[in-house]
A and B are shown apart, each in its own frame.
Chain A
Amino acid sequence: MKVSLSNFDKAFENRIRLQIMSVLVANESYDFNSLKELLEVTDGNLASHLKALEKEEYITVNKSFIGRKPNTRYQASEKGVAAFKKHLEALEQLIKQQKG
């Protein structure tokens, strides 16, 4: 059964982007390397998805250094959390529709 995708957030169509957002909603903040390891993606791939989420203003970036190593941490913005919740509700709605 096919249903309309109108309520879905375009930014979350990609599985990796949705997963990044899930991690950032569940945690106060997360760093680049931990995200990379958790999601099992390449540097370039992860960076491009993070950039896309940043452009939507769904996440905020905080760059700093630990010693000499750069440490980039990401946080979900209020707008991002709201969009994520809406997307989940749309998914839930979809399941309800199909059951009903």
Chain B
Amino acid sequence: MESKDVYAELSSIKNIMERSTRFISLSGLAGVMAGIYALAGAGVAYQLLNNGPADVQLLVAVALGVLVISMGTAIWLSYRKASKKGQSIWTQSSKALLFAGMVPLVTGGCFTLMILSQGNYELIAPCCLIFYGLSVVSASKYTFGDVKWLGILEILLGLIATLLPGYGLLFWALGFGVLHIIYGTIMHFKYDRESIAQ
């Protein structure tokens, strides 16, 4: 066996192990889009809050709208990225990714709605950020490892926001808007461009 064959063998093992455990069709662009939607949503919320006492249901609707459109965009862009490479997006690793992410996310969603119904408005933004961060860290095992840093930063922002009541919307916009745009841009240049070039 030639040494270059040994290297080829080892790299094929590494490649197949990674592809079997990690969902790598996640698109960086989806992160950027999610950030833009979040900033737009924060802008709408800011307007609502500025015009006197805001309708809580309307604010929740805006937040949920941002979540749904962001996830829709992420699924669509991942589907496009995967089909370009002739891969499917509904795989064992994407199912594992969804499950790992959904447990903290759904828990956080329920928890946030409960504290909302008790009128603890100041804790809404920190809760969103902390549970979303936990969800990202948990899901990062099944995709690019770098994703966990996004989650850790979201958790940190959430904790800082807890200490600074009254700035919830600002931290929400920073965490879901600015961080997503920065993270998405980094991921796009690090992973998407090389995979398109291949």
Contacts and interface: CB of A to CB of B under 8 A. Distances in A.
A77 to B, nearest CB: 18
A1 B5 CA distance: 11
A44 B16 CA distance: 20
Contacts of A5: 1
Interface stretch (B17-25, B62-70, B156-164, B167-175): B17-25
Given A18-B13, A19-B12, A38 B1 contact: no
Q: Is the interface of A mostly helix, strand, loop or mixed?
A: helix
Contacts, number: 54
B123 to A, nearest CB: 37
B17 A94 contact: no
Interface residues of A, number: 23
Interface of A: 1-3, 5, 15, 18-19, 22-23, 25-27, 30-31, 34, 37-39, 88, 91, 94-95, 98
23 contacts: A18-B12, A18-B13, A19-B12, A19-B16, A22-B17, A22-B20, A23-B20, A25-B17, A26-B17, A27-B20, A27-B92, A30-B20, A34-B91, A38-B16, A38-B91, A39-B16, A91-B6, A91-B10, A94-B1, A95-B3, A95-B6, A95-B7, A98-B3
Can you list the 7 inter-chain pairs with the closest CB atoms, starting with the nearest? A26-B17, A23-B20, A22-B13, A34-B92, A98-B3, A19-B16, A22-B16
